[in-house]
Structure 1
Amino acid sequence: MNTIELEPEKSMKKLSDEVTKEQLIADFMVVLADAEALLKVSANQGGEKLAEVRAKAEESFRMMKAKMSGTQDLLLAKTKTATDATDAYVHDNPWSAIGVSAGIGLLIGLLIGRR
């Protein structure tokens, strides 16, 4: 029977705790607010104030891209771990996997038939 190392999952859990959905939403809202301010300022004024707001918006976009990239990498790593675990389980227990798949298929068929 294959064993799956739990250490990578612990480190991924720690990373996911650092970047929460709430933080990403808050950062995204800051980016949107900066973009909105940029649009308002550029519509009425030019010059120094416009450059200042544009620089702030660009920095917010850069930070948001970096956080999204880190989150994407984390999600890919978690998906790979889950895929490897599922693959190992199916190889070790093929008949159980077939039974679970058939049960899920039957359940979905029943739910579709009710409509």
Structure 2
Amino acid sequence: MPSQTALNAQEILKADFQTLVADTEKLLEHTASLAGEQADELRDQIRESLLRAKETLKVTEESVRLRGEAAIVATEEYVQAKPWQSVGIAAGAGFLLGLLLTRR
């Protein structure tokens, strides 16, 4: 399972990307009042870029979700195959974390 820091970074990246897309959509709406062939070309380019960005975000999100699910399955299989080792690892990690927290 991904660490909390990685999850936070992913959420921040996703939020920033969605903000960028929303701002670009607003810009596209504001340029609608512009006239001329160049303005039409610019709007078309922005629209295509937005569609590509949204698709990339969907693909990336799906990829991250699938990798997360695979990690969960692998972890569950490992814990079921080697329960005592898993308990030992968890106890060791808890002990180290306890040592670190009491030193502060």
Q: What TM-score, normalized to structure 2?
A: 0.63
Alpha-carbon shift at residue 77 of structure 1 (Å) = 1.3
Q: Select which of 64, 68, 75 maps to 1:75.
A: 64
Runs of 4+ in structure 1 off by over 4 angstroms are none
Distance, in Å, in 1 between the alignment partners of 2:50 and 2:101 is 44
Q: Distance in 2 between the 1:63 and 1:111 partners?
A: 46
How do residues 19-38 of structure 1 correspond to structure 2 at under 5 angstroms? 35=24, 38=27
Match of 1:63 in 2: 52
Matched residues, number = 79
Unpaired runs of 5+ residues, structure 2, are 1-16
Post-superposition offset of 1:72: 1.2
- TM-score of the superposition, structure 1-length normalised? 0.57
Q: CA RMSD in A?
A: 2.5
Q: Counterpart of 1:101?
A: 90
Measured in 2, the distance between the counterparts of 1:58 and 1:107 equals 52
What secondary structure sits across from 1:91 in the alignment?
helix
